[in-house]
């Protein structure tokens, strides 16, 4: 099974992540006005369907709505990535947590015409309450788990360094056990999401993001490889029974051709030209798709794990 997902985190998220000053930009965020179109072109060329995790408050602009309606019309899945992408989602009081998930779900439903089946938490952190809130907001699966201790260690180092530089990050550190969860889909316990639920225990289907060589299988990782190395990695991962590649909107943008502020170069993926990244992603996915068909996360959940459909 192969899943290709993309998180549509607006550029403001990266300013908060790297402690950069906020900037007001007119019009739709390039993540939804440019990156979504490129994602659809990439998927069309591969003959694949993907899942787009949407941040509710970034969907107000007509250009963003048109882009995501086009994605839904092409057979891609729109899923819930909260209303405002708070990195400290797992620390919010219960009422605020419920609003973030509920408002995010309603924003997606307004575009797709149906309640979103999937949820992904900002920063991949669930804690003991987020899965229950996601299920209450209508989620039928979660795709937040990132089993990569190396990522969590690197994140801790980056957060500490930014604090020393006087640029505190909005990112938070969670329970390290969340980085030690299963690498294949499993019914996650609501209060301990890194554990598989026993029969009779409350659970939500977890569809983890994959790791490669201990690192998250993301567009940011692939962007640092050339097409040949990415293709070789894809051939190796294709032998697995479960592969989920997670992209972000910035992975389909670049500083120069999209005219982005230089400070956003703190996000390394933005330093690589889009035309090069597109070649890298195609090389990787073509090799994985020699053994796997790419489906939406909802389709996989319904067809493979008997999760009730819409």
| Residues present in the chain in total | 310
- Does 116 reside within a domain? yes
Residue 304 tokens read as 């493979």
Q: What CATH number does the domain containing 262 carry?
A: 3.20.20.370
Is 218 among the domain residues? yes
Flag the least confident range among 102-111, 156-165, 244-253, 278-287.
Answer: 156-165
pLDDT band at 75 (very low <50, low <70, confident <90, very high): very high
Instruction: Quote the tokens at residue 288.
Output: 């994985």
Reported as type and span, the H/E element at residue 242 is none
Q: What residue numbers bound the domain in which 19 lies?
A: 2-305
Residue 130 has pLDDT above 80, yes or no: yes
Interior/surface letters 169-206, b for 16+ CB within 10 angstroms, e for the rest: bbbbebbeebbebebebbbbbbebbbbebeeeeebbbb
Q: What is the mean pLDDT of residues 149-172?
A: 92
pTM for this structure? 0.96
**Is residue 310 situated within a structural domain?**
no
69 φ/ψ angles, rounded to the nearest 5 degrees: -65, -35
| pLDDT value at residue 24 | 65
pLDDT above 70 for 310: no
Query: Maximum distance among all alpha carbons in the chain?
Result: 53
Tens-digit pLDDT profile for residues 13-38: 999 999 988 876 667 789 998 999 99
Is 274 inside a domain boundary? Answer: yes
Residue 95 forms part of a structural domain: yes
| pLDDT at site 33 | 87
Instruction: Classify residue 284 by burial, with Cβ atoms within 10 Å: 0-12, 13-18, 19+.
Output: buried
The tokens for 31 are 């993540």
Percent of the chain with pLDDT over 90: 90
Q: How many domains does the chain have?
A: 1
Spell out the residues 6+ positions from residue 253 whose beta carbon is closer than 8 angstroms to its own. 30, 31, 34, 35, 260, 270, 274
- 239 domain residue, yes or no: yes
Per-residue pLDDT of 250-291, as tens digits, reads 999 999 999 999 999 999 999 999 999 999 999 999 999 999
Within a domain: 79: yes
Average pLDDT value for the chain: 94
**Do the domain assignments include residue 150?**
yes
pLDDT for res 110: 95
């Amino acid at each position: 099974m192969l899943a290709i997902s993309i998180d549509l985190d607006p550029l403001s998220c990266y300013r908060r992540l790297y402690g950069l000053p906020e900037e007001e930009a007119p019009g739709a965020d390039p993540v939804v006005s440019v990156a979504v179109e490129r994602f659809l072109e990439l998927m069309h060329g591969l003959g694949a369907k993907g899942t787009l995790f949407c941040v509710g408050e970034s969907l107000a602009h007509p250009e963003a709505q048109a882009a995501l309606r086009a994605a839904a019309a092409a057979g891609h899945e729109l899923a819930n990535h909260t209303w405002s992408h708070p990195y400290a989602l797992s620390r919010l009081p219960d009422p605020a947590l419920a609003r973030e998930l509920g408002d995010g779900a309603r924003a997606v439903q307004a575009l797709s015409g149906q309640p979103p089946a999937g949820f992904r938490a900002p920063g991949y952190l669930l804690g003991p309450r987020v899965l229950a809130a996601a299920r209450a907001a209508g989620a039928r699966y979660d795709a937040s788990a990132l089993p990569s201790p190396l990522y969590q260690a690197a994140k801790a180092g980056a957060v500490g360094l930014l604090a020393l530089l006087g640029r505190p990050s909005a990112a938070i550190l969670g329970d390290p056990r969340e980085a030690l969860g299963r690498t294949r889909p499993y019914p996650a316990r609501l209060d301990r999401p890194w554990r598989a639920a026993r029969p009779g225990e409350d659970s939500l289907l977890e569809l983890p993001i994959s790791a490669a060589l201990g690192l998250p299988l993301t567009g940011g990782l692939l962007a640092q490889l050339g097409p040949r190395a990415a293709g070789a990695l894809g051939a190796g991962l294709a032998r697995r029974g479960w592969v989920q590649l997670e992209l972000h909107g910035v992975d389909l943008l670049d500083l120069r051709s999209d005219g982005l502020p230089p400070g956003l170069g703190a996000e390394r993926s933005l330093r690589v030209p889009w035309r090069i990244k597109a070649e890298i992603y195609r090389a990787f996915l073509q090799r994985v798709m020699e053994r796997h068909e790419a489906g939406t996360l909802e389709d996989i959940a319904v067809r493979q794990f008997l999760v009730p459909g819409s």
